[in-house]
């Protein structure tokens, strides 16, 4: 996402819900581009009232306890308490779980194909983001990519089944 004009407008118009949804969207996928996230959160931090005072919920500081489930709990808890402490820990947990991806790491090498599951996930992520920021074109694009991923997934399964029969 980085700093899109829509995001900048949301910050400038103090649309706290829209900005919070955009920030939370970074943790709804299985990878986190820390550089992009930092750029977005630093830009958004200029808004008054963006962050809630932490609700004193105990946050786990031991990396041994940081799992994908805990990442999900932290992300869900942003709904009722959007504190800087929770967001900072969320980022640390994502990095600890090796979800930090640069754009170069995320893209397949030349000649390498994406799996149907990956394509479906991308379609879902694009569609969800479009829904969150009210961009119909992104929702439609996400649905199209999701359908393409389903077709690719079915073809992959068919080929595997044929190979098993041989």
Q: pLDDT per residue over 40-58, tens digit each?
A: 999 999 999 999 999 999 9
Q: pLDDT for 63-99, tens place per residue?
A: 889 988 898 899 899 999 999 999 999 989 888 887 6
- Whole-number pLDDT of residue 141: 75
Q: Which two tokens stand for residue 6?
A: 């829509």
pTM above 0.75, yes or no: no
3-class state of residue 14 by DSSP: coil
Q: Which two tokens stand for residue 75?
A: 């992300």
3-class state of residue 36 by DSSP: helix
Domain boundaries, the chain: 1-107, 108-166
- Whole-number pLDDT of residue 146: 72
- Locate the DSSP E strands across 6-67: none
Locus of tokens 């397949």:
108
CA distance 66 to 114: 28
Locus of tokens 């399964």:
157
Locus of tokens 């919070």:
20
* Residues ≥6 apart with Cβ < 8 Å to 51: 45, 82, 83, 84, 87
Q: What is the mean pLDDT of the chain?
A: 79
Q: pLDDT for 122-155, tens place per residue?
A: 766 766 776 777 777 777 777 877 787 777 778 7
């Amino acid at each position: 996402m980085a700093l899109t004009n829509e995001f900048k407008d949301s910050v400038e118009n103090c649309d706290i819900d829209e900005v919070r949804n955009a920030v939370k969207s970074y943790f709804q996928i299985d990878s986190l581009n820390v550089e992009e996230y930092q750029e977005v959160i630093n830009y958004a931090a200029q808004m008054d009232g963006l962050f809630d005072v932490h609700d004193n919920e105990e946050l786990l500081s031991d990396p041994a306890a940081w799992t994908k489930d805990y990442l999900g709990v932290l992300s869900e808890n942003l709904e009722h308490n959007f504190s800087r402490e929770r967001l900072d820990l969320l980022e640390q947990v994502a990095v600890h779980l090796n979800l930090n991806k640069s754009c170069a790491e995320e893209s397949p090498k030349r000649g390498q194909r994406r799996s149907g599951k990956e394509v479906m996930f991308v379609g879902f992520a694009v569609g969800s983001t479009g829904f969150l920021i009210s961009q119909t074109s992104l929702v439609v694009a996400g649905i199209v990519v999701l359908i393409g991923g389903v077709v690719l997934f079915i073809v992959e399964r068919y080929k595997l089944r044929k190979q098993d029969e041989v």
